[in-house]
Amino acid sequence: MAAVLTWAALLAGCTGGSGGLDIDRVLGKPPSPEDVIRVTPDDGSRAVRPEERLRVRVPGGRLEKVSVVASQDAQDTPVPGHLSADGLTWEPDARRLALAAKYTVDAVALDAHGRRSARHTTFTTYVPERRFIAYVTPENRSTVGTGMIVSLSFSQDITDRAAVERAVRVTARPPVDIRPHWFGKNRLDFRPEHYWKPGTEVTVGLGLRDVEGAPGIYGLQAKTFAFTVGRSQVSLVDAARHMMEVRRDGQLLATVPITAGAPTHPTYNGKMVVMDMLEVTRMNSQTVGFGGEYDIPDVPHAMRLTDSGTFLHGNYWSPDSPGHVNVSHGCVGLRDVKGGGSDTPAGWFFDRSLVGDVVEVVNSKDKTVAPDNGLSGWNMAWTAWTAGSAVK
């Protein structure tokens, strides 16, 4: 009789108010989602550093589903990741977190007793006070000459040049070996060993976002640029003969009279690349360190060749000089008229030129132009160029 009463009491203790089995009392109180699914960084965390670890795990049972989204610049990007073989841990594929982003984590898991739990957490990452960007040459979707060099000028000095270099990818179709070279702390150029082949399509991928280029200074851009290489045009300026040979796709197109730098201000020797083309511009000697020697407000058909101020341009103020005498302050002048004429040598050449065309000067009394003066990297031997990479 005592045994029967004890068993009845046990059964009574295991039933709920509706007469069913009370699972909570048999298995214990269901754990909270926070105990079943553990997420780091903690829910609501702010200013999480990019090197901190994102991890979703369960102490027992298994994870059924994990979804992570990073919101950055009003765009939601799924974060790819992977489960461990035992199903207990999920981690993202990327090693570092994105900066200035809000992360949203949604996870579903079964605990060791087969009970399902779901958890939703968020955290935000560190917003850097200092950023850097790259100014890219040439322009996106442009058609350029075969001498174009891809040049990135950074808004901040770069100390971790290898990290930044790895984040930039320059590719071509048809494929060609393209190598980087650093000029100082804020300029990175890319080129092949020889001039581009006409028709080549070049793509520049900037994966600079969140790359730490210097202590506490992070990249901002995640963009792609592209340009197309047009026909080949290489012009050879002979400063001693006062003539320029213009070759298109290897064939002589024309021989044009020129005036180069006077003996006191000779023109650089070497290969220079057309950087910019201006229908008309002002040239003031004070901007290039010549004092008040000249100030011409309407120089026609001006094509910049160097950062230091070398141009190939129309000359209307000394019409008898081209072909006979060198009178400029280092520029290459072609005969023109005031306001610029389309039927003058300068107008003819301007209308047939592209940014990226090569102008090579020989037989001048000056030194060879420095490789970092404009897009003059073709004056550097290939072995020296490739040695300028920060990634060994």
Give catalytic residue positions.
313, 331
Contact 70, 53 (CB under 8 A): no
Q: Residues 108-113: contacts with CB within 8 Å, 24+ apart?
A: 108/63, 108/64, 108/65, 108/66, 109/36, 109/37, 109/58, 109/61, 109/62, 109/63, 109/64, 110/61, 110/62, 110/64, 111/31, 111/36, 111/58, 111/60, 111/61, 112/60, 112/61, 113/27, 113/61
Of the CA atoms within 13 Å of residue 339, those in its CB half-sphere come to 2
**DSSP letter at 21?**
B
- Two structure tokens written together for 100: 């200035």
In DSSP terms, 204 is beta-bridged to 170, 225
3-state helix, strand, coil in the chain (%, to 5): 10, 40, 45
Q: Within its chain, how far is the Cα of 291 from the centroid?
A: 38
Three-state SS for 343? coil
